[in-house]
Amino acid sequence: MEVNPPLTIVGCGPGDPDYLTPAADKAVAEAEVLVGTQRLLDLFPRHPGEKIPVGVNIDDVLEAVADRVQRTIAILVTGDPGLASLARPVIRRFGRERCRIIPGISSLQVAFSRLGLDWLDARIIDAHGKDPDLGNDALNRPSKIAVLGGRPQSFEWLQRELGDRLDDFQVTICEDLTLAGERITPWQPGTVLDRELSSRVIFILVRK
Ligand SMILES: C[S@@+](CC[C@H](N)C(=O)[O-])C[C@H]1O[C@@H](n2cnc3c(N)ncnc32)[C@H](O)[C@@H]1O
């Protein structure tokens, strides 16, 4: 019986090539096919294999992978595969034993590094694709909260969700980390931002 090669899910870091690990580079070099967003594919301009650009539709990504399982495929994801990435649907569809995961440097690690903070006690919330459904007091206790934004509406959601409790936190908006337009902006609850946030945004809240 013919055995298909493993599917390799490669964490590619938050954007700047300096944050790609040698292990990620090696896994990509070994692959015949790269699957990922155009921005991630662009991190490997000299890769000679087939490059399949994908959009936000996860089913399309899974089909593109399913059509090529006999080849050596690297599925490129932003940051670390363990954090709100394609790894979960890929593993659900193809099975954990078929998948090899190469960790990457997460945008979350970079955000906390920029603020000089550890994140052992952080509550991580994924508001990237849609407003998360949290329990009433889910945000009453954590001393740090990290919100993966990703949409303009996520900032509005955060303000609605926390309401007056926002005053208990120092809020920092971290955009386009490691990229040319990186911005780290302290934000005062109640003030209006006079610009649109980047789609690559993390909100870090630290209890005062
Ligand atoms: C689908 S999640 C993927 C997270 C990724 N697996 C990681 O470990 O960074 C996408 C979210 O990651 C965050 N993100 C990714 N790259 C970023 C960057 N360069 N700067 C700021 N936030 C980023 C944003 O919150 C975005 O909405």
Position 27 scores a pLDDT of 98
The pLDDT score that the predictor gives to residue 78 is 97
Q: Which residues have CB under 8 Å from 162's CB, separation 6+?
A: 139, 169, 205
Domains of the chain: 7-105 (3.40.1010.10), 108-207 (3.30.950.10)
Residues linked to residue 11 through DSSP beta bridges, in sequence order: 77
Among 145, 157, 200, the mutation site with the greatest number of ligand 1 atoms within 8 A of its Cβ is 200
Whether 14 has a pLDDT exceeding 70, the answer reads yes
Residue 207 has pLDDT above 90, yes or no: yes
Cα–Cα distance between 109 and 19 in angstroms, integer? Answer: 11
Residue 4 Cα to ligand 1 midpoint, Å, equals: 31
pLDDT at residue 5 in the model: 87
Of 10-19, 61-70, 127-136, the range with the lowest mean pLDDT is: 127-136
Q: The tokens 């952080």 sit on which residue?
A: 122
Residue with tokens 């000299």, as numbered in its chain: 46
Taking the CA of residue 15 as reference, the ligand 1 atom at the shortest distance is 19
* Ligand 1: residue whose CA is nearest its atom 2: 84
Structural contact between residues 73 and 31, judged by C-beta atoms closer than 8 angstroms: yes
Please give the model's pTM, rounded to 2 decimal places: 0.95
Distance 148 CA to ligand 1 centre (A): 6
**pLDDT, position 1:** 63
In the three-class reduction of DSSP (H, G, I as helix; E, B as strand; rest coil), residue 101 is classed as strand
Residues with CB under 6 A from ligand 1: 14-15, 77-80, 83-85, 106-108, 128, 148-150, 174-179, 200-202
Examine the pLDDT at 2 and tell me if it is beyond 70: no
Give the type of residue at 6: P
Distance (Å, whole) CA 161 – CA 52:
38
Residue 67 alpha carbon to ligand 1 centre in Å:
28
Question: Which pLDDT tens digit goes with each residue over 39-82?
Answer: 999 999 999 999 999 988 999 999 999 999 999 999 999 999 99
Q: Over the stretch 145-158, which tens digit does the pLDDT of each residue have?
A: 999 998 889 999 99
Q: What percent of the chain lies above the pLDDT cut of 70?
A: 99
Residues 158-206: tens digit of each pLDDT: 999 999 999 999 999 999 999 999 999 999 998 998 899 999 999 999 9
Q: How confident is the model at residue 135 (pLDDT cuts 50, 70, 90)?
A: confident
Alpha helices in the chain (DSSP H): 22-30, 38-41, 58-66, 87-94, 107-115, 152-162
Q: Which atom of ligand 1 is nearest to the CA of 83?
A: 6
In terms of pLDDT, which residue wins out, 158 or 134?
A: 158
Other C-beta atoms lying within 10 Å of the C-beta of residue 24: 23
> Residue 168 to residues 143, 164, 205, 207: CA-CA distances in angstroms?
10, 8, 9, 6
CA of 14 to the centre of ligand 1 (A): 7
What integer pLDDT is reported at residue 70 of this predicted model?
93
Report the distance separating Cα 64 and Cα 62, nearest Å. 5
Q: How far apart are CA 130 and CA 134, in angstroms?
A: 12
